[in-house]
């Protein structure tokens, strides 16, 4: 039975099943062919998609990808053949039909297997050596531009020692166009293996720059900037490269980005464009080429190219030439005006255009943006009403004047953004973001002062036109600027305005207003040095919608009227520099007030924030919304308890130089009567009174505080200081004692600290250098600036003043971060009598920004710079070696240095920009001549004493 069963199973498996399967294949031949067709169509669609995706991404096939596409094509051909034969199935015998059905089944299976390849079909193509940038033909460039282009190319291909070339000039003059032309010039030749052009911009995004360079080199860079840098360095070191860095504003750390210095790589070059020649110098450019504006004839030729030949018609030409003259030879300005006038051919249109442009006194100096779009179009593209409003607000300021961060903050606070965004910091960030947006749109540009912006004259005229016409629903501005203004605008002119600005005028008295000014939200009366009177009646009472009141530097203003209390909607009150202001009315009613600035109100000797303003039973008298309070360098006092109980929303507090505010620890004396000595005066009572003495612990209640500027006197610095240090941005310490190491450590770790002044303090052996301004005076325990253990900080120190430090042995007591002195501009050292050398071998060699050095009354200083053969590298002979540690030094003063024998050991100090050397009472300084030279090889000497006149001078010295 078992044998029979096994035999039956074998018959089923090897005879019956194949027959049944073959019959099914034969019977289902049509279905099998149809299924094959569907699967092959699916595969072909997938192939087409992959091909299109590769083409769109600019990718090429891998070897395995090529094979995959080949197999898919073969499947497609076979499927077509099967389908054609199947269509002729009536003529096919059963054996052939069976084979056809079987092939379709097998081909369907193969097509299915090919649908999802487990390998990459495509890859990024090898990078091109040069990617051409679309621009106008070189032949259309004006002669001076073509000449400059050739000059740049000649420098890049010339002296191998000149590895970095700088191109500088004012904004809009055509530097970017030249950079693009340089890039395109090397397309198709073998001068460089790779040419990469990167736009750096005013706020460089290092990650974005690295990504751009990585794409050009065919690299997949990691997200970590340090790892990306290393990968770029490795790749570029293998190539002869040209890197074009366009629109550089500040010096860049090339190696930090991933660009090796060309001097280490034969034939590689770097081209920098910047509007600032100092940027080119600081980045190591030996050749600096200035791009000048176009000549009158070239400007006209460019205008004709841009606007079209119709502008040469007799009835248009003279008007067009007057318009071009206003562009001052700047190509971007010429192009913008040409686009604006391209479709105008009527005499009246051109005459009207000339009238409008000349009325606006268009001055295009300083334009920096890459694209200057038609002005009105730029405004129309601003969809955000807040951006539109901010743009119009900036037009309130005089032409060619800087608009500072403070002005933007006031605007944002006045618009109620603090309530919307919950914090002053968020408002600042929002303001910065809006300014950046307007700059990107070419509607604002950087000002001359650091951190400021300004409005281009043409943009300002556009904003005023919109404001005066009311085309966007806004009312006009009322602006009067300059000493020629002696009378305030008539009362009627105030009625329909939203903003009033009277700046630097000779106005003595403001007008009485007969009726309310419901639209006026901003009143800025800045720098009106002889303004004496703000009317007691019929003025502030009618400005009850006012959000911003700014009376900055009204030097003769002594009193403000009690009607100030009527400004219930006031959010910003600024009175800085009102040096004669003696009293303020009660401020308690200004419960919406968020910014109060009394900086430099030197005669304002009163308590402005007294307890009665914070009576919980009278909520109408409440200043608890204050976010910003500045009473620095004033005689204002604040009662004890006010800060900790009623100013809890404060985010920025400026108390430095506030002579009537003193701080004590709870356990450091002063009885209750002394502590209350500052509480006896009522608000508004302004006779001289004793300073308020406040427990420093009150500051710990300010949980929202982000910025504190304060002076601490006669106080012990211990553990309580550590949490406070994180919030301090400006600190002055007088006669304080450090008793705990963690307090000193907290000082070193306060990364937001901007300035630090320490006078006659004890227990502080070393001090931090990560501030912008540092003054250390009369501290007996200070031995060195840095002890080598401090964490590296970004180079931020700009001014260093060391005075009467009897134990100071060295500025650096150990290894220090390489860039710690990279921004140092001012160095003053006085009466540090243990100091023998100023710049020792262990100090970093980066002093590229140092401009002024004064060394005075240091009895043991023997040499200023300690140098050896391998130090401070610069070319020179073996017997007359030059060193150049201070490429930007302007003035050197050496005064009363009894032991000084040499400026620099065994070297001549080369300072290419130096204009003055002052030497007085240095009896041992016998170098003949003094080894300091400028770029011409001359010593610029100011004779301070007769000791120099008796010296024998062996080479030419220029005396001034």
Task: Identify the helix (H) or strand (E) that includes residue 315.
Answer: helix 314-325
pTM to 2 decimal places: 0.61
**Gap between the Cα atoms of 569 and 543, Å rounded:** 9
Please tell me whether residue 110 adopts helix, strand or coil conformation: helix
C-beta separation of 727 from 747 below 8 A? no
Answer with the residue of higher pLDDT: 658 or 482. Answer: 658
* Angle between the N-to-C axes of helices 143-157 and 175-185, in degrees from 0 to 180, rounded to the nearest 10: 50
**Gap between the Cα atoms of 782 and 646, Å rounded:** 40
**Gap between the Cα atoms of 572 and 409, Å rounded:** 10
875 has pLDDT over 50: no
Asked whether residue 143 falls in the same domain as residue 111, the answer is: no
Specify the pairing of strand 60-61 against strand 122-123.
Answer: antiparallel
788 has pLDDT over 70: no
For 165, the domain range is 138-290
List own/partner pairs for 426-432 with CB under 8 A and 24 or more apart. Answer: 431/390, 431/405, 432/405, 432/408
Which pLDDT value is given to residue 61? Answer: 84
What pLDDT digit, counting tens, does each position of 540-554 carry? 888 989 999 999 998
Asked whether residue 100 falls in the same domain as residue 6, the answer is: yes
C-beta separation of 933 from 883 below 8 A? no
Which pLDDT value is given to residue 100? Answer: 74
C-beta separation of 646 from 618 below 8 A? no
The answer to whether the Cα torsion of 59, 65, 66, 70 is positive or negative is negative
- In the numeric block, which tokens belong to residue 331? 């190509």
Which pLDDT value is given to residue 228? Answer: 92
**Gap between the Cα atoms of 130 and 133, Å rounded:** 9
Mean pLDDT of 458-482: 66
Task: Identify the helix (H) or strand (E) that includes residue 762.
Answer: none
366 has pLDDT over 60: no
- Residue 921 inside a domain? The answer is no
Where helices occur in 711-754 by DSSP H, the ranges are 721-725, 741-749
- Residue 188 inside a domain? The answer is yes
The answer to whether the Cα torsion of 675, 677, 678, 681 is positive or negative is positive
- Residue 267 inside a domain? The answer is yes
Answer with the residue of higher pLDDT: 359 or 112. Answer: 112
- Residue 657 inside a domain? The answer is no
- In 3D space, the residue among 329, 324, 319 whose CA is nearest the CA of residue 365 turns out to be 329
- In 3D space, the residue among 781, 785, 759, 783 whose CA is nearest the CA of residue 771 turns out to be 785
Which pLDDT value is given to residue 681? Answer: 35
Which pLDDT value is given to residue 147? Answer: 92
CATH number at residue 229: 3.40.50.300
Task: Identify the helix (H) or strand (E) that includes residue 351.
Answer: helix 347-360
- In the numeric block, which tokens belong to residue 258? 């991933």
**Gap between the Cα atoms of 452 and 408, Å rounded:** 10
Cα 922 to chain centroid, rounded = 44
Give every CB contact of residue 75 below 8 A, 6+ residues apart in sequence. 40, 43, 107, 110, 111, 114
26 has pLDDT over 70: no
Asked whether residue 157 falls in the same domain as residue 286, the answer is: yes
- Residue 793 inside a domain? The answer is no
- In the numeric block, which tokens belong to residue 197? 């052009």
- φ, ψ dihedrals at 685, nearest 5°: -85, 115
- In the numeric block, which tokens belong to residue 634? 């004033």
Asked whether residue 146 falls in the same domain as residue 285, the answer is: yes
**Gap between the Cα atoms of 203 and 201, Å rounded:** 6
572 has pLDDT over 80: yes
Task: Count CB-CB contacts under 10 A for residue 567.
Answer: 23
Question: DSSP string spanning 139-198?
Answer: GGS-HHHHHHHHHHHHHHHS-TT--EEEEE-STTSSHHHHHHHHHHHTTTSSS-SEEEEE
- Percent of residues, the chain, with pLDDT higher than 70: 78
> Would you call the peptide bond into 63 cis, given omega within 30 degrees of 0 as the criterion?
no
Which pLDDT value is given to residue 633? Answer: 92
**Gap between the Cα atoms of 396 and 126, Å rounded:** 54
- In 3D space, the residue among 565, 548, 444 whose CA is nearest the CA of residue 500 turns out to be 548
Which pLDDT value is given to residue 831? Answer: 95
Residue at a domain's end among 77, 100, 123: 123
- Residue 960 inside a domain? The answer is no
**Angle subtended at Cα 670 by Cα 669 and Cα 672, rounded to the nearest 5 degrees:** 125
What pLDDT digit, counting tens, does each position of 584-634 carry? 888 888 899 999 999 999 888 888 765 444 444 444 346 889 999 999 999
Residue at a domain's end among 234, 261, 290: 290
Average pLDDT, the chain: 79
Residue ranges of E strands in 541-689: 548-550, 572-574, 595-597, 628-630, 652-654, 661-664
Asked whether residue 286 falls in the same domain as residue 250, the answer is: yes
C-beta separation of 661 from 637 below 8 A? yes
Tell me how far apart the terminal alpha carbons of the chain are, to the nearest angstrom: 130
What pLDDT digit, counting tens, does each position of 200-255 carry? 876 788 888 999 899 888 888 888 989 999 999 998 988 899 999 998 877 788 88
- In the numeric block, which tokens belong to residue 872? 């401070």
What pLDDT digit, counting tens, does each position of 922-941 carry? 988 865 545 676 666 555 55
- Residue 277 inside a domain? The answer is yes
What pLDDT digit, counting tens, does each position of 372-407 carry? 233 454 576 566 788 888 888 888 887 668 888 888
**Gap between the Cα atoms of 500 and 505, Å rounded:** 13
**Gap between the Cα atoms of 943 and 452, Å rounded:** 40
Specify the pairing of strand 908-910 against strand 652-654.
Answer: unpaired
Give the pLDDT band of residue 369 (cuts 50, 70, 90): very low
Please tell me whether residue 25 adopts helix, strand or coil conformation: helix
Asked whether residue 142 falls in the same domain as residue 119, the answer is: no
Which pLDDT value is given to residue 866? Answer: 79
Asked whether residue 379 falls in the same domain as residue 284, the answer is: no
Asked whether residue 206 falls in the same domain as residue 232, the answer is: yes
Q: Which residues pair with 525 in a beta bridge?
A: 502
Question: Which of 339-353, 413-427, 517-531, 844-858 has the lowest average pLDDT?
Answer: 339-353
Question: Which of 365-379, 511-525, 688-702 has the lowest average pLDDT?
Answer: 365-379
Task: Count CB-CB contacts under 10 A for residue 109.
Answer: 12
C-beta separation of 847 from 797 below 8 A? no
- In the numeric block, which tokens belong to residue 572? 């910003």
Asked whether residue 59 falls in the same domain as residue 28, the answer is: yes
What pLDDT digit, counting tens, does each position of 46-79 carry? 889 888 888 887 777 888 888 888 888 988 888 8
Q: What is the largest CA-CA distance in the chain?
A: 137
What pLDDT digit, counting tens, does each position of 280-294 carry? 888 889 899 988 888
Name residue, tokens 């009207």.
352
When computed from its CA atoms, the radius of gyration of the chain, rounded to whole angstroms, is 38
Mean pLDDT of 879-906: 83
- Residue 71 inside a domain? The answer is yes
**Gap between the Cα atoms of 435 and 391, Å rounded:** 9
368 has pLDDT over 50: no
Label residue 600 left, alpha or beta by phi (over 0 means left) and psi (-120 to 50 means alpha): left
Cα 793 to chain centroid, rounded = 18
Considering its fold, how many domains does the chain have in total?
A: 3
Task: Count CB-CB contacts under 10 A for residue 956.
Answer: 10
Give every CB contact of residue 48 below 8 A, 6+ residues apart in sequence. none
Residue at a domain's end among 443, 474, 505: 474
Please tell me whether residue 658 adopts helix, strand or coil conformation: coil
Give the pLDDT band of residue 895 (cuts 50, 70, 90): very high
Asked whether residue 463 falls in the same domain as residue 417, the answer is: yes
Asked whether residue 276 falls in the same domain as residue 414, the answer is: no
Asked whether residue 264 falls in the same domain as residue 170, the answer is: yes
List own/partner pairs for 825-828 with CB under 8 A and 24 or more apart. Answer: 825/798, 825/799, 825/849, 825/850, 825/851, 825/852, 826/798, 826/799, 826/800, 826/801, 826/851, 826/852, 827/800, 827/852, 827/853, 827/854, 828/800, 828/801, 828/802, 828/803, 828/854, 828/856
- In the numeric block, which tokens belong to residue 144? 């001076």
Which pLDDT value is given to residue 9? Answer: 63
Which pLDDT value is given to residue 596? Answer: 95
Which pLDDT value is given to residue 180? Answer: 92
**Gap between the Cα atoms of 522 and 478, Å rounded:** 10
Q: Which of 308-312, 895-899, 921-925 has the highest mean pLDDT?
A: 895-899
CATH number at residue 431: 1.10.10
Question: DSSP string spanning 202-257?
Answer: SS--HHHHHHHHHHHHT----SSHHHHHHHHHHHHTTS-EEEEEEEE-S---HHHH
Label residue 760 left, alpha or beta by phi (over 0 means left) and psi (-120 to 50 means alpha): left
Cα 514 to chain centroid, rounded = 47
């Amino acid at each position: 039975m078992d044998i029979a069963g096994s035999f039956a199973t074998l018959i089923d498996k090897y005879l019956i099943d194949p027959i049944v399967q073959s019959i099914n294949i034969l019977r289902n031949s049509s279905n099998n062919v149809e299924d094959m067709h569907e699967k092959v169509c699916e595969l072909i669609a997938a192939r087409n998609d992959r091909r299109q995706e590769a083409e769109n991404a600019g990718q090429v096939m891998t070897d395995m990808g090529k094979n995959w596409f080949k197999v898919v094509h073969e499947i497609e051909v076979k499927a077509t053949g099967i389908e054609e034969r199947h269509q002729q199935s009536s003529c096919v015998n059963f054996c052939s039909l069976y084979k056809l059905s079987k092939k379709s089944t097998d081909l369907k299976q193969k097509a299915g297997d090919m649908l999802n390849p487990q390998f990459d079909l495509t890859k990024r193509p090898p990078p091109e050596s040069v990617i051409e940038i679309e621009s106008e033909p070189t032949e259309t460039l004006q002669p001076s531009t073509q000449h400059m282009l050739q000059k740049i190319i000649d420098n890049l291909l010339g002296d191998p020692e000149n590895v970095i070339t700088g191109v500088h000039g004012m904004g809009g003059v055509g530097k970017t166009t030249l950079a693009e032309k340089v890039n395109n010039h090397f397309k198709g030749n073998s001068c460089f293996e790779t040419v990469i052009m990167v736009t750096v911009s005013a706020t460089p995004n290092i990650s974005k720059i690295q990504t751009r360079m990585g794409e050009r080199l065919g690299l997949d860079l990691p997200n970590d900037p340090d790892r990306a840098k290393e990968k770029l360095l490795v790749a570029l070191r293998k190539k002869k490269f040209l890197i074009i860095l366009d629109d550089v504003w500040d010096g860049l750390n090339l190696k930090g980005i991933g660009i090796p210095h060309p001097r280490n790589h034969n034939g590689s070059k770097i081209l920098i464009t910047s509007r600032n020649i100092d940027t080119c110098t600081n980045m190591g450019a030996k050749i600096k080429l200035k791009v000048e504006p176009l000549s009158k004839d070239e400007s006209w030729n460019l205008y004709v190219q841009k606007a079209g030949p119709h502008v040469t018609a007799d009835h248009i030409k003279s008007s067009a030439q007057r318009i071009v003259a206003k562009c001052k030879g700047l190509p971007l300005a010429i192009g913008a005006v040409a686009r604006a006038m391209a479709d105008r051919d009527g005499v009246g249109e051109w005459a009207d255009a000339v009238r409008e442009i000349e009325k606006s006194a268009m001055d295009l100096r300083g334009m920096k943006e890459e694209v200057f779009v038609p002005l009105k179009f730029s405004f129309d593209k601003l969809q955000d009403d807040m951006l539109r409003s901010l743009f119009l607000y900036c037009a309130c300021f005089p032409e060619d004047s800087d608009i500072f961060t403070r002005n933007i903050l006031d605007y944002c606070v006045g618009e109620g953004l603090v309530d919307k965004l919950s914090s002053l910091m968020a408002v600042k960030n929002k303001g910065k973001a809006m300014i950046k947006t307007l700059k990107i749109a070419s509607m604002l540009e950087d000002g001359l002062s650091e951190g400021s912006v300004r409005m281009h004259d043409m943009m300002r005229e556009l904003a005023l036109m919109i404001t005066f016409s009311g085309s966007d629903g806004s009312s006009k501005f009322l602006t009067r600027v300059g000493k020629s203004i002696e009378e305030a605008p008539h009362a009627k002119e105030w009625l329909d305005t939203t903003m009033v600005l009277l700046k630097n005028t000779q106005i003595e008295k403001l007008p009485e207003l007969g009726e309310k000014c419901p639209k006026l939200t901003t009143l800025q009366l800045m720098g009106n040095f002889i303004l004496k009177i703000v009317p007691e009646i019929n003025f502030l009472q009618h400005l009850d919608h006012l959000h911003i009141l700014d009376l900055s530097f009204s030097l003769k203003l002594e009193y403000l009227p009690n009607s100030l209390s009527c400004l219930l909607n006031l959010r910003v009150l600024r009175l800085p520099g009102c040096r004669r202001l003696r009293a303020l009315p009660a401020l308690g009613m200004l419960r919406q007030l968020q910014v109060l600035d009394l900086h430099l109100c030197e005669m304002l000797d009163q308590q402005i924030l007294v307890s009665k303003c914070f009576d919980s039973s009278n909520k109408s008298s409440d200043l608890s919304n204050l976010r910003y309070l500045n009473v620095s360098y004033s005689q204002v006092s604040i009662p004890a308890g006010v800060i900790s109980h009623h100013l809890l929303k404060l985010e920025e507090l400026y108390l430095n130089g506030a002579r009537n505010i003193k701080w004590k620890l709870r356990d450091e004396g002063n009885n209750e009567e002394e502590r209350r000595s500052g509480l006896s005066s009522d608000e508004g009572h302004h006779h001289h009174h004793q300073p308020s003495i406040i427990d420093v612990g009150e500051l710990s209640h300010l949980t929202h505080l982000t910025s504190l500027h304060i002076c601490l006197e006669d106080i012990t610095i211990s553990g309580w200081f550590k949490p406070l240090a994180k919030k301090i941005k400006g600190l002055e310490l007088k006669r304080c004692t450090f008793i705990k190491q963690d307090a000193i450590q907290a000082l070193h770790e306060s990364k937001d600290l901007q300035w630090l002044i320490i006078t006659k303090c004890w227990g502080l052996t070393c001090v931090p250098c990560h501030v912008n301004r540092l003054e250390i005076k009369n501290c007996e325990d200070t031995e060195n600036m840095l002890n080598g253990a401090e964490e590296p900080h970004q180079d931020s120190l700009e001014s260093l003043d060391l005075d009467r430090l009897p134990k100071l042995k060295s500025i650096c007591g150990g290894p220090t971060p390489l860039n710690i002195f990279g921004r140092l501009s001012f160095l003053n050292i006085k009466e540090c009598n243990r100091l023998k050398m100023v710049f020792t071998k262990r100090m970093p060699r980066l002093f590229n920004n140092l401009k002024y050095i004064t060394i005075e009354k240091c009895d043991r200083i023997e040499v200023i710079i300690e140098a050896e053969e391998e130090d401070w590298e610069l070319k020179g002979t073996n017997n007359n070696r030059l060193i150049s540690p201070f490429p930007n030094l302007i003035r050197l003063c050496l005064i009363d240095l009894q032991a000084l024998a040499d400026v620099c050991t065994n070297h001549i100090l080369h300072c290419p920009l130096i204009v003055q050397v002052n030497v007085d009472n240095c009896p041992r300084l016998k170098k003949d001549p003094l080894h300091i030279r400028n770029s011409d090889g001359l010593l610029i000497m100011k004779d301070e004493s007769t000791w120099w006149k008796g010296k024998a001078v062996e080479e030419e010295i220029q005396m001034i």
